[in-house]
Structure 1
Amino acid sequence: MIVLLIRLLFISLIIFLIYSGFKYLVNPKRKLELAHEQKQYYFLDDKNNVRKNFMITYKGAIFEGEKYLGTTTNSFEVVSMFIWAKSTSELQGLSLDDFQYIEENVKQHYPHAKIDWKSPIKELLVKKREKQDES
């Protein structure tokens, strides 16, 4: 009887370890951290939850974004968002093209959204765009 109970407990432990390992491997936060370490692009978002912020990693920098719901001509959609860097020291080496790339990828997920950047990225984009308009 005790041997059977120990076997069932051992089998339950193995099943729990396999389940925990699987949950760890498919965890989106782990994928974000891995992409951050490898300096790749990754977009982490819960599209069904407008109140939950999204995270983006690109070239070693992590960005966070806030979504705001509004009305379009036919439905309620995300119409505005603010994006900022988690750490401004990670922005070193990023150019205007990098921020445009991020905007384009966010627009693929939220085509009706107007994207606003928070400081210091906002100032960089304004200066760069003014210089391009002058040229």
Structure 2
Amino acid sequence: MMWLLRLTIFALIIFLIYSIIKYILNPKRKLELAHEQKRYYFLDYQENVHKNFFLTYKGALFEGEKYLGTTDHAFEVVSIFIWPRNTAELKGMVKEDFQFIENKIHEHYHNAKIDWKSPVKEFMEKSRFPKDRF
């Protein structure tokens, strides 16, 4: 009876250690932590094209939707739509921040064309074509 109790306690300790390690290494937890600390973090499952990726930068959380297409040599992600999850978090961001995000995405998806959804799309278009001032 005593050895059964020891075996049960040992199994419980192993299970707790396993659960703690899984929690620490969880990529979604790392994304949330980077979001709170206003750091850059890119969470993506590149082997699964159907799953959206998440990116956090300067306290703003973005979601990107990938579309598979053909290039000259292979099937790859050729189009990405990206949008902020909460537009209020965009406060203080400048054009260079969005260009940084685009460059980081291009590091993972070289052939992808990146399209922003509103309101970033309008901001980027407005900043590309400044109007003359009188």
- What displacement does 1:131 show? 1.3
Alignment-mate amino acid for residue 39 of structure 2 = Q
Alignment-mate amino acid for residue 19 of structure 1 = Y
- What displacement does 1:132 show? 8.4
The correspondence of residues 1-16 of structure 1 with structure 2, limited to 5 A, is: 2-16=1-15
The correspondence of residues 44-83 of structure 1 with structure 2, limited to 5 A, is: 44-83=43-82
Consecutive aligned runs of 4 or more in structure 1 exceeding 3 Å deviation: none
Match in the other structure for 2:95: 96
TM-score (structure 1 length as normaliser) = 0.96
Alignment-mate amino acid for residue 110 of structure 1 = Y
Identity over aligned pairs, percent: 62
Number of residue pairs matched by the alignment: 133
Match in the other structure for 1:18: 17
The residue matched to 1:68 in structure 2 has which SS? strand
Alignment-mate amino acid for residue 63 of structure 1 = F
1:41-88 Cα shifts (integer Å, max 9, x gaps): 000000000000000000000000000000000000000010000000
Structure 2: where are the runs of 5+ without partners? none
Q: Compare 124-133 and 109-118 and name the one that shifted more.
A: 124-133
Alignment-mate amino acid for residue 55 of structure 2 = I
- What displacement does 1:133 show? 10
Alignment-mate amino acid for residue 91 of structure 2 = Q
Structure 1: where are the runs of 5+ without partners? none
Alignment-mate amino acid for residue 87 of structure 2 = T
Sort the Cα spacing of 1:133 and 1:12 in 2 relative to 1 into closer, same or farther, 3 A: farther
- What displacement does 1:3 show? 1.1
Match in the other structure for 1:114: 113
Alignment-mate amino acid for residue 31 of structure 2 = L
What is the distance in 2 between the residues matched to 1:6 and 1:95? 61
Q: Which has the higher helix share?
A: 1
